[in-house]
Structure 1
Amino acid sequence: MISPLLIIASIALLVAVLINKLFQSDYGWFNRLRRPQWLTFESAIPFIWISVFICGVYSAYELWIKQPGKTETWLFMGAYLLLEILIMAYTPVMCKLRSLQAGTIIGATGFFWGLILAVLLWPISRVSVFLLLPYLLWSPVGTYVTWEMISLNPLDK
């Protein structure tokens, strides 16, 4: 039998690849935009996101091993999937639309969906909630950076 962790991780990777393929965008546009002066940690952002995704996969896995195959667990897996779609849609959709406002809206929506997921998970698996904390802490930072970039790039709002 295939490990649930391997299945969850594979689906997460497949979703990430598909979203990036579906929304082939002009990432050069985003790279040319001005950033806030205080954003000195931009080179660390890919590593932060890798950590966030690993924790997210383990969060879903922890829930699965706690309640394997239950209808409620499948619904939560759908909620995790929607959260990943929101996270992965942020950059390609923002770049496709060339709209920092769109990025801010997607980022904020993802954060609130993650928060709802965490609240609903709390009575079932606190480990799963704690593994969502890196996302819940990082997502507002990324959303705030995007929001700040609107005033620095008024033609690309």
Structure 2
Amino acid sequence: MLPSWLVIGGVTLVVAFIGGSLNPPGGIQWFRRLRRPRWLTFEAAIPFIWTTVFLCGAWSAYIVWQADPGSTRTWLFMGAYLLLEIITLAYNPIMELRRSLVTGTVIGATGFFWAIVLTLLVRPISGWAALLLIPYLLWSPIGTYTTWAMAQLNPADA
């Protein structure tokens, strides 16, 4: 039997790979041509930041799993973690498909609020699991605000 950390990490990677490869035709080009706020100087670091956020989320899920392995309640938590990852990864393909920065802002905000709910739910199980969701709670609003700011600079693509 595979160790739980390997299964959780593997699922996280597979979902991230699939989600990251879903780009509608012309979507990346559309996004690249958009104007960005002058203060957006860290765009090259964004993939590394999200990688860190996903690693922390997977580690948090592992801690929750270890607290009560295989129970129905724990499986529901695993589904909640998976939903958070899917919401997060839906940002690019759905925003690019719709060519709408407002859509990206809504998806970003949805992920943030779901992460708040998940953090509050896992806190009684493990303080460490909740703390490992803090990077998501810190970074997600920055990404959401950045998308909103881009919508202001690109009203035709809002």
Which range, TM-score by smaller chain?
A: over 0.9
Counterpart secondary structure, 2:40: coil
User: What's 1:11 paired with?
Assistant: 11
User: What's 1:49 paired with?
Assistant: 50
User: Following superposition of structure 1 onto structure 2, how do residues 72-87 of structure 1 map, counting pairs within 5 Å?
Assistant: 72-87=73-88
User: What's 1:136 paired with?
Assistant: 137
Gaps of 5+ in 2: none
Kept in 1, the 8 Å contact 2:101–2:147? The answer is: yes
Could you list the per-position Cα deviations for residues 14-55 of structure 1 after superposition, in whole angstroms to 9, with x for gaps in the alignment?
212223445535111111111111111111111111100110
User: What's 1:154 paired with?
Assistant: 155
Moved over 4 A (4+): none
Q: Take 1:111 and 1:152, find their aligned partners in 2: how far apart are those partners?
A: 23
Q: Take 2:41 and 2:20, find their aligned partners in 1: how far apart are those partners?
A: 26
Counterpart secondary structure, 2:132: helix
Q: Take 1:150 and 1:111, find their aligned partners in 2: how far apart are those partners?
A: 19
User: What's 2:128 paired with?
Assistant: 127
User: What's 1:109 paired with?
Assistant: 110
- Per the TM alignment, residue 109 of structure 1 is displaced from its structure 2 partner at its CA by 0.2
Kept in 1, the 8 Å contact 2:23–2:92? The answer is: no
Code of the residue aligned with 1:108 in structure 2: it is A
- Scaled by the length of structure 1, the TM-score of the pair is 0.96
Between stretches 15-24 and 115-124, larger displacement belongs to: 15-24
Q: Take 2:41 and 2:21, find their aligned partners in 1: how far apart are those partners?
A: 30
Could you list the per-position Cα deviations for residues 63-109 of structure 1 after superposition, in whole angstroms to 9, with x for gaps in the alignment?
11111111111100000010000000001111111100000000000
Identity %: 57
Between stretches 3-12 and 143-152, larger displacement belongs to: 3-12
Between stretches 66-75 and 108-117, larger displacement belongs to: 66-75
Code of the residue aligned with 1:100 in structure 2: it is L
Gaps of 5+ in 1: none
- Scaled by the length of structure 2, the TM-score of the pair is 0.95
Between stretches 37-46 and 128-137, larger displacement belongs to: 37-46
Q: Take 2:19 and 2:132, find their aligned partners in 1: how far apart are those partners?
A: 24
Code of the residue aligned with 2:91 in structure 1: it is Y
Counterpart secondary structure, 1:117: helix
Code of the residue aligned with 1:3 in structure 2: it is P
Kept in 1, the 8 Å contact 2:122–2:130? The answer is: yes
Could you list the per-position Cα deviations for residues 100-123 of structure 1 after superposition, in whole angstroms to 9, with x for gaps in the alignment?
000000000000000000001111
Change (3 A) 1:24 1:16: farther
